[in-house]
Structure 1
Amino acid sequence: MIKLTDFLIACKVPLNLLSYKVHLATGSDWLPLDAFYDGKFKEWQENQNGKNFSRDMVVGLIHVEGSRGLFAGVYRVLGFNPQEGKRVRYSTELLAGQDDLIGRVIVEHKRSGRAAYLIGKPDGGPFHVCEIRPQPMTIQDFPGYQEVCVSYAKLKIIIEQNLDTWRGALSNMKGVYIITDLKTGRLYVGSATGSDGLWQRWGSYVKTGHGGNKDLKRVLKDKGPRYVEHFQYSLLEVADSRTSDEYVLERESFWKEVLASRKFGYNAN
C-alpha cells in the first residue's frame, strides 16, 4: 500500500511534510462523519478543546471502522481565537486540488494509543491508502425497516437533503417508533399516522426538536435546544398506509407498556 503522504504529493496536494499534524477525528455528540455528510466537517474540526493544531497544516481523517479513516482533506492553519474555558476556535483553509480525493480515500492506521492529534512525520509514518472509493462516501440508502437507527444529526441530513430512498420508504408507512436519550437511557415511544407517515412525523422532530410532544418540549426547555443532539431514532414496527389509525395507536400503547416508558421514560400517557 502507498503511504498517504506519497499519495497526496503524487496528486499535487501541497502538504508541508515538515510541519503537519494528523487529526484522527472522533466524537460523541456531533459526530464528525455526520458533519462530513452535512458538508460541515471544516466547521466541526475548527472547534477544538485545546490548542491541538500546533503545526502549519492538519490532515483530517474521520474514523469509519476498525483501523480505517476517511480522508477529509488537508487544511492550512491560519490562526485561532480562544473561546470559553480551554476551548479554541481555529481558522483554517482547505488546500486546493483535493475535490476528487475527499470522501473517497480510505486510510489504514493502527493506533498505538488514544492520542487523536499526531505529529506528522516527513516519511509519512504509519498511514497508508488502502482503498479509493468510486464515489465520495454518503449516507447509505434506506437499509430496511428493521435496520433503522439514526442520530438526530443524521436524521436532519436525511430530511433536509430529501434523500429519495428514505423518503420513499418512510412516507409510505405508518408505524411506532422509539426515541432514545443516549445521555440518560430514557425512552420516548411515539407513533406516525399522518398522510406522509413516518417521514412527516420524523420531519417534525428535525424542524422543532420535539415534534410538538409536550414531554419532549419539557426536556428541551430544561436542558436546552441542543440537547436534541443526544437523541437517537429507531422503528419498533411499521404498518402500511391502509392500516387504521386506531390499530397503530393500540400498538403504540402496547410498546409503552413493554418498555415501561411511562414509568421510566419520557411518555406521560
Structure 2
Amino acid sequence: MTEYLEGRFDSWQAWQEKKNFDRQYVVSFIKTPKEVNRWLYVGAYAQSGSKPHSIKGVVYDLTLLPASLDFAGRLTCSYERKGRQAYPFGESVAPTCEVYQLNAEKLHLSEFPGFKKVNVSFGELARIVRQAIPSWRAALENVAGVYLISDQLDGKLYVGSATGAGGIWARWCEYLNGHGENVRLRKLIKEGGAARAENFHFSVLEIADTHTSGADVLLREGHWKEVLLTRLHGHNGN
C-alpha cells in the first residue's frame, strides 16, 4: 500500500524475483490494511516482455491500460485467498471475487487537518510531498513559521524555521533526504542509515506571514529552542 500511495507502485511491481507475470495481462490488487479479505484494485496492465535485473530477478515491461483507470484506486473487492500462492491466475480468482465497494474518489492521503493538528511521520510527509496533495501544499506553502521534528526513537527534538517563498512547504520538501542538510541530523542519518529518518515526526509550532522578516522568525525559533531545551537535550546544534 505504501508504494501505491507514494506513486511508486508501477516500478515496484515491475520487478519480480521470479517470472510471475508470464501472461498477456496482469490485473493488480493490493491487500487493504486492517480489513479481512479486502483488496483494492489498482489497475490492469499489458505485459510485453521482461529482462533480467542487474542483481536479481526480472523486470517486466508492463503498460497500464487506460480503460482500467476509471476504477483504479476506487474499487475494493472481497476475496478470500486460499493457499500460499502469491500470484494466482485470473480464472481461479474470478469465481469468488466480488465487488465490495466503489468509492467516489481515488484513495489518497488525508486532507490537511489544520496547523494545530499537524503531526505526520517522515513516511507520510514523503508521500504528501511526492503527491503534492493540494490541501497540504496550499496551506504550508503560504506560511512561514517555526516547526518541530520529534525523534520517536530517542525522544529528542529539533526546532527549525522556514521563511520566504514556498514557506514551510518548501522547507519540508528538503527533508526527503532525511536530514534537510541540518548538520546534526545529517550525522544521525549517516550513522544510522536512511531508515533512521523513519522515526521522525513533523509538526508546526507557530506560523507567520511569508513576508515576515527572516530575523523575526529566527527570534521565534530561538525562543522555542530555549523553551524545549533542544540545544541542550535535542538535535539542535546552535
Please, what TM-score do these two structures have when normalized by structure 1? 0.65
Counterparts of residues 211-250 of structure 1 (less than 5 Å): 211-219=180-188, 230=198, 232-235=200-203, 237-241=205-209, 245-250=218-223
1:175 maps onto 2:146 in alignment: yes
Counterparts of residues 106-145 of structure 1 (less than 5 Å): 106-110=76-80, 116-122=86-92, 124-145=94-115
Q: Hey, what's the Cα distance between the residues in 2 that align with 1:132 and 1:69? A: 12
Query: Does the 8 Å contact 2:189/2:197 carry over to 1?
Result: no
1:192 Cα deviation after fit = 1.6
Would the alpha carbon gap of residues 92 and 214 (structure 1) be closer, same or farther in structure 2, given more than 3 Å must change? Answer: same
Gaps of 5+ in 2: none
Matching residue of 2:20: 53
Query: How many residue pairs end up in the alignment?
Result: 225
Q: Hey, what's the Cα distance between the residues in 1 that align with 2:223 and 2:171? A: 18
Would the alpha carbon gap of residues 123 and 216 (structure 1) be closer, same or farther in structure 2, given more than 3 Å must change? Answer: closer
Query: Does the 8 Å contact 1:32/1:62 carry over to 2?
Result: no
1:149 Cα deviation after fit = 1.1
Q: Hey, what's the Cα distance between the residues in 2 that align with 1:126 and 1:256? A: 59
Would the alpha carbon gap of residues 142 and 89 (structure 1) be closer, same or farther in structure 2, given more than 3 Å must change? Answer: same
Q: CA RMSD in A?
A: 3.7
Matching residue of 1:191: 160
Would the alpha carbon gap of residues 51 and 188 (structure 1) be closer, same or farther in structure 2, given more than 3 Å must change? Answer: farther
Q: Hey, what's the Cα distance between the residues in 1 that align with 2:221 and 2:127? A: 26
Query: Does the 8 Å contact 2:43/2:64 carry over to 1?
Result: yes
Counterparts of residues 15-164 of structure 1 (less than 5 Å): 26=1, 31-35=2-6, 38=7, 40-48=8-16, 50-51=17-18, 53-56=20-23, 57-67=25-35, 68-110=38-80, 116-122=86-92, 124-145=94-115, 146-150=117-121, 151=123, 152-158=125-131, 161=132, 163-164=133-134
Matching residue of 1:9: none
* Amino acid paired to 1:80: S
Identity %: 24
* Amino acid paired to 1:53: N
1:228 Cα deviation after fit = 8.3
SS in 2 for 1:142: coil
SS in 2 for 1:153: helix
Matching residue of 2:225: 252
Please, what TM-score do these two structures have when normalized by structure 2? 0.71
SS in 2 for 1:248: helix
Would the alpha carbon gap of residues 178 and 123 (structure 1) be closer, same or farther in structure 2, given more than 3 Å must change? Answer: closer
Query: Does the 8 Å contact 1:175/1:239 carry over to 2?
Result: yes
Deviations 1:8-36 (A, max 9, x none): xxxxxxxxxxxxxxxxxx4xxxx22223x
1:154 Cα deviation after fit = 0.7
SS in 1 for 2:48: strand
Query: Does the 8 Å contact 1:176/1:252 carry over to 2?
Result: no
1:230 Cα deviation after fit = 4.0
1:80 Cα deviation after fit = 2.6
Matching residue of 1:165: 135
Query: Does the 8 Å contact 1:105/1:131 carry over to 2?
Result: yes
Query: Does the 8 Å contact 2:28/2:41 carry over to 1?
Result: yes
Query: Does the 8 Å contact 1:103/1:137 carry over to 2?
Result: yes
Would the alpha carbon gap of residues 89 and 257 (structure 1) be closer, same or farther in structure 2, given more than 3 Å must change? Answer: same
Would the alpha carbon gap of residues 109 and 251 (structure 1) be closer, same or farther in structure 2, given more than 3 Å must change? Answer: farther
